[in-house]
A and B are shown apart, each in its own frame.
Chain A
Amino acid sequence: MLQNLAQLPRYRGLIQSLVARELKARYRGSVLGFFWSFINPLTLLLIYTFVFKYVMPAAVKGADPYPLFMFCGLLPWTWFASSLMESSGVLIAGGNLIKKVLFPAEILPIVTVTANMIHFFLALPILAVFLVIYRAPLTVGELAWFPIVIAVQYVFTLACALILSALTVHFRDIRDILSNLLSLWFFATPIIYPYLTAPEIAKRFLNWNPMAHVVISYQEILFFPGPFGHWKWLLALGVASIGFFLFGYFIFDRLRDSFAEEV
């Protein structure tokens, strides 16, 4: 396992070109192309803003301006959720490669997560515009944490993606389970409501949700004023994510030999 892991950096070039291909291919043939990376989150944002600002405003007290608040959580969540959805099918879709070419299979989920991260980056300018419009209270000290949150989320997402992609090869049901699980997970993460206004009982549950800490970190850095107080949680999650990644890689490695036969 560790040998295989050590080999990974050698495939940097391949991962790079595959991510580039993924990005190019995704919007090839569509008129708006890369603009969809902006439009998709914007549409979601409009819908949720409309619902929570005008239809049921009571639910989201303590998060004003609401569009900015939502955006802070929604963008990373989109990265996370689409990474998981795509990676669950990625080995089956790339079956041709695994079966016919000597190819380290873990590259496929890695490419998926990375490509979605690039999409996340592409949507950041919109977030920046929102930050300027709403005059968000940003400080340099807080912003320094921003790449760290991204790194933690990347490792955590990668770990999930490795496990999911490997298991889905054997149990195709996972894809359906996952889409349900993700909508549950979405509401179990303080994206459309602020963590602070959640009831005590809910908070206890939220603390067990890794994505909650990721999202809260984004919100504290970009949205809430005051120093970044969530850093202990974030660092703990970072360490746990590395362990989780190793575990995920272990599972993947154990199942690796079966891929060529099962996909």
Chain B
Amino acid sequence: MSEGRPAIELVRASKIYRRFSHRKQFATLKSALLTRSLIKNLRPDETFTALNDVTLTVPKGRTLGVIGRNGSGKSTLLKLVAGITKPSTGTVRVDGRISALIELGAGFHPEISGRENVFINGIMLGLSKREVARRFDEIVEFAELTEFIDAPVKTYSSGMYMRLGFAVAIHVDPEVLLVDEVLAVGDEGFTHKCLDKFAEFKRRGKTILLVTHSLGLVERFCDEALWLDAGRIRGSGDPKRIVGAYITDVQQREERELAAGDSKARESASAATVSPDEPASAVLPDNPVETASAPADMFRAAEGRWGSREVEITDVALVGSDGASGHVFRSGDPLDVRISLRAPLPVDDFVVGIGVFNAEGVCCYGTNTSVDALLPERLSGDAEVVFAVDALDLVEGTYKLDVAVHKQDGYPYDYHRLLYTFRVKSRAKDVGIYRPRHAWRFSGGVQFTPGPASAEAPAGKDRDTE
């Protein structure tokens, strides 16, 4: 499909946004009036480079998925291609009629009916009145708004509004379709309809530029992926490879963020308890206020550290399958919680315990050496206790750890409450707090084939995507 010119071509395109501070704006007006150079003086000092030297070619009929973190320049790229803004340097060239699904229903007037808005919106997007009239029924049917099309748009729900906007935009019959994260506009059924429509576009050899955070969609749907990071192209090519690289990068970033957050929490926790003024409160076995009323954000409210420190937890490390300590793990991977202990004086009454809490503050699992029928004998000097999990069968989410050493009667030596955070990544979209190892078996008159979503099938199968 490489005949003729490419559908979209960017050559060394950059977009630099200007940043006016508020005070600057007033200064600009005054000076602009004084020096009578209204146009020339609109140059600000601060700039922000949203897109940096991007060169990109999309041949006709290809579908390109653009991924990247928030603020990486995806939407700016789309606006450049759509022609809504001009590149600061470089060139952007697009061949054929563009329809941009950037903001659905932009330009709808709330006071007038859906019918009139469809016409005006269609004309705005480049159709003639007759063309809109011809497609009108199809548009309304697609938007599932047949009953309400004569009601003023202000009475529509946001879903109806979006659906109508989507329907109009997609019936403009563009050569190049630009889509910015708009698939979240309806219920499951509508989303499928949109995807079908995209697939139809693809079949008919149209070019699609898709900006999305839905990595599965990119893998399934796009011929090529482009990864933007801080305005630059980090990678492009095969969607599977790019998505894999992107996920790895996101994990590394999360890793760093969680590590930073954890050490901050621990610092403030030890700072609070070590303070010599109130040693008594530090030894309280449990803070009744914290546990009695469960606040909205359990983590923030309840994290802390207390205990007599006769035995001290000096370090807690989470070690994944790669043998390095980290904060982000894949569901189903092994995990070691390595607890370093120090007892300046030998003790013979001690229990090491652990608790895993999910983001809602629900305890997913808790146990200790006593529960697991290990009788304490002796602890002195430096020691390490490892809580080894064969397979971390948790669903995707952020979890926090309680780690504690205490006497068998509960008297705390060192209690670290929710001070350790880790994230579990999973490509399966299952829900709950616990993932039992499972399989589906069938017999009789039932048959399944591995669907297109099998790339996202439950744990285990997809660990090798990187």
Closest Cβ neighbor of A170 among chain B residues? B42
19 contacts between A and B (CB under 8 A): A13-B128, A13-B129, A17-B129, A24-B111, A24-B112, A24-B116, A28-B152, A96-B103, A97-B124, A98-B84, A100-B102, A100-B103, A102-B98, A170-B38, A173-B29, A255-B39, A260-B84, A260-B85, A261-B85
The reply on A167 being an interface residue by CB < 8 A is yes
- Chain A residue at smallest Cβ distance from B99: A102
Could you say which residues of chain B place their CB within 8 Å of the CB of A98? 84
Whether a CB of chain B sits under 8 angstroms from the CB of A184 is: no
Which A residues are CB-close (under 8 A) to B79? 260
B130 → A minimal CB distance (Å):
10
Interface flags for B383-425 (1: CB within 8 Å of A; 0: not) read 0000000000000000000000000000000000000000000
Given contacts A21-B109, A170-B42, A258-B42, A102 and B120 within 8 Å (CB-CB): no
Answer whether residue A187 sits at the interface, using C-beta atoms and an 8 A cutoff.
Answer: no
Question: Is B100 part of the binding interface, using a Cβ–Cβ cutoff of 8 Å?
Answer: yes
Task: List which A240-258 residues lie within 8 A (CB) of chain B.
Answer: 251, 254-255, 257-258
In the bound complex, what is the Cα–Cα distance between A17 and B128 (angstroms)?
Answer: 11
Tell which of B39, B82, B112, B152 touches A102, judged by Cβ atoms closer than 8 Å: B82
A99 with B84: CB separation less than 8 A: yes
Q: How far is the CA of A163 from the CA of B201 in the complex (A)?
A: 42
**Nearest CB in chain A to that of B15: its residue:** A261
Q: Which residue of A lies closest to B108 (CB)?
A: A96
- Nearest-neighbor residue (CB-CB) of A102 within chain B: B83
For the complex of A and B, list the 4 residue pairs with the smallest distance between their C-beta atoms, beginning with the closest: A100-B103, A100-B106, A25-B111, A28-B111
Given A103-B124, A171-B29, A258-B42, verify A96-B106 contact (CB < 8 Å).
Answer: yes
The residues in A between 84 and 125 inclusive whose CB is less than 8 angstroms from any CB of B are 94, 96-103
Query: With contacts defined as CB atoms under 8 Å apart, how many contacts are there between chain A and chain B in the complex?
Result: 76
Quote the shortest CB–CB distance from B139 to chain A (angstroms): 16
CB distance from A256 to the nearest CB of B (A): 9
Chain B positions within 8 Å of A251 at CB level = 39
Please give, as numbers and ranges, the residues of chain B lying within 8 Å of A170 by CB-CB distance.
Answer: 28, 38, 42
Name B86's contact: one of A18, A99, A257 (CB within 8 Å): A257
B119 interface residue (CB < 8 Å to A):
yes
B169: shortest Cβ distance to chain A, in Å?
A: 9
Using C-beta atoms within 8 Å of the partner chain, give the interface range for chain B.
Answer: 20 to 34
Closest chain-A Cβ to B393's Cβ sits at a distance in Å of: 44
| Set of chain A residues within 8 Å of B112, measured between Cβ atoms | 21, 24-25, 28
**Interface membership of A29, Cβ < 8 A:** yes
A21 & B116 in contact (Cβ 8 Å cutoff): yes
Q: Which residues of A contact B (CB under 8 A)?
A: 13-14, 17-18, 21, 24-25, 28-29, 94, 96-103, 167, 170-171, 173, 251, 254-255, 257-258, 260-261
- Which residues 21-36 in B have Cβ within 8 Å of A in the complex? 28-29, 32
Q: Are B84 and A100 in contact (CB under 8 A)?
A: yes
Q: How far is the CA of A25 from the CA of B100 in the complex (A)?
A: 26
Known: A14-B123, A97-B106. A254 touches B100 (CB 8 A): no
CA distance A251 to B38 in the complex (A): 10
Q: Which residues of B contact A25 (CB under 8 A)?
A: 109, 111-112
Q: What B residues does A103 contact at CB under 8 A?
A: 107, 124
**Interchain CB contact under 8 A, B120 and A17:** yes
When distances are taken between beta carbons in the complex, the residues of chain B under 8 Å from A173 are 29
In the complex, the answer to whether B38 meets A167 with C-beta atoms within 8 Å is yes
Q: Which residue of A lies closest to B82 (CB)?
A: A102
Known: A100-B84, A101-B100, A102-B98. A261 touches B39 (CB 8 A): no
What CA separation (Å) do A258 and B111 show in the bound complex?
29
If A13-B129, A21-B112, A97-B106 touch, whether A257 touches B85 (CB-CB below 8 Å) is yes
Q: What residues on A are CB-neighbors of B32 within 8 Å?
A: 171
Residues B55-101 near A (CB distance < 8 A): 79, 82-86, 98, 100
B129 contacts across to A, CB distance below 8 A:
13, 17
CB neighbours (8 Å) of B38 from chain A are 167, 170
**Known: A13-B128, A25-B111, A260-B79. Contact between A102 and B100, CB under 8 A?**
yes
B18 adjacent to A17 (CB under 8 Å): no
Tell me the complex Cα distance, A28–B154, Å.
12
A-B contact sample (11 more), CB < 8 A, given A101-B102, A260-B85, A261-B85: A13-B129, A17-B120, A24-B111, A97-B107, A100-B102, A100-B103, A100-B107, A101-B124, A102-B100, A167-B38, A170-B42
Q: Please name the residue on chain A nearest to B103 by beta carbon.
A: A100
Docked Cα-Cα span, A261 to B125, in Å, equals 21
How far apart sit A170 and B28, CA to CA, in the bound complex (Å)? 9
Q: Which residue of B lies closest to A173 (CB)?
A: B29
B365 interface residue per 8 A CB criterion: no
Closest residue of chain A to B107, judged by CB? A97
CB neighbours (8 Å) of B100 from chain A are 100-102
B17 interface hit (Cβ, 8 Å): yes
Inter-chain CA distance A173–B29, complex, in Å, is: 9
Q: Please name the residue on chain A nearest to B39 by beta carbon.
A: A254
Chain A residues with CB below 8 A from B39, complex form? 251, 254-255
Q: Taking the nearest CB of chain B, how far is it from the CB of A89, in angstroms?
A: 16
A21 and B106 form a contact (CB under 8 A): no
Say whether A261 contacts B18, CB under 8 Å.
yes
Chain A residues, Cβ within 8 Å of B42: 170, 258
